[in-house]
Amino acid sequence: MFHRSERLLLRPIWPEDWQAIFGGIADQGVVRNLARAPWPYDESHAREFAARAIDPHQPRFLVTRASDAVVVGCIGLDLIDEHPDAIEMGYWIARPYWGQGFATEAGRAVLDIAATLGHRKVVASHFLDNPASGRVLRKLGFEPTGRIVERHSCGRGGTAKTAEYTIELEGDAVWQKRAA
């Protein structure tokens, strides 16, 4: 599955993308904001991630600039035990691309894809010491649930508090109106 937005192309991750993934994520400042990526992040982790099979109802995407195919980050949807009635959106953006609106643009694209796939509820969270991610989620129309929960972070080597968010994707454009 591919998706083209104004500045980005979201495309499937292929095994040969491991070097581009490694180049963007092998940064402790990026990994510490993720739940599942380990630190230190080495080439074997990138190879394994790029080689994973993708469930078509839980897609993962390499986020690239449409103009030159430079890798900006990754974004995807996953099922998680804590929310059996929803799908979770997660993402990372490489440090050189922070603050340029790429996370928000990629997030809008993935919410479009989630709605197309029939997902009606999407959840997301951010570690409390990463408020920029919370701003991205609110721009996308996610609403805070009011829950602060401990979540394990492989990159931190322990748990840290996260703020949880949710968005309902009822109808074609309901979430888009809230996010505008």
Cα 35 to Cα 115: distance, rounded to the nearest angstrom? 24
Cα 180 to Cα 177: distance, rounded to the nearest angstrom? 5
pLDDT at 83: 79
Is residue 37 a contact partner of residue 127, using CB atoms and an 8 Å limit? no
Q: What are the beta bridge partners of residue 9? A: 4, 64
- Token readout for 11 is 């495309």
The span from the first CA to the last CA of the chain, in angstroms, equals 25
pLDDT in tens, 46-94: 999 999 999 999 999 999 999 999 999 999 999 988 778 899 999 999 9
Q: How many structural domains does the chain have?
A: 1
- 99 three-class SS: coil
pLDDT in tens, 11-57: 999 999 999 999 999 999 999 999 999 999 999 999 999 999 999 99
Give the DSSP letter of residue 18. Answer: H
- Token readout for 177 is 């109106």
Centre a 10 Å sphere on the Cβ of residue 143 and count the other Cβ atoms it contains.
12
Residue indicated by tokens 């959106």: 89
CATH at 33: 3.40.630.30
Is residue 120 a contact partner of residue 111, using CB atoms and an 8 Å limit? no
Is residue 146 a contact partner of residue 117, using CB atoms and an 8 Å limit? no
Cα 8 off chain centre by: 14
CA angle, 14 as apex, 13 and 17 as ends, to 5°?
90
Give me the domain span that covers residue 173. 3-179
pLDDT at 174: 46
Instruction: Tell me the pLDDT band of 176, cut-offs 50, 70 and 90.
Output: low
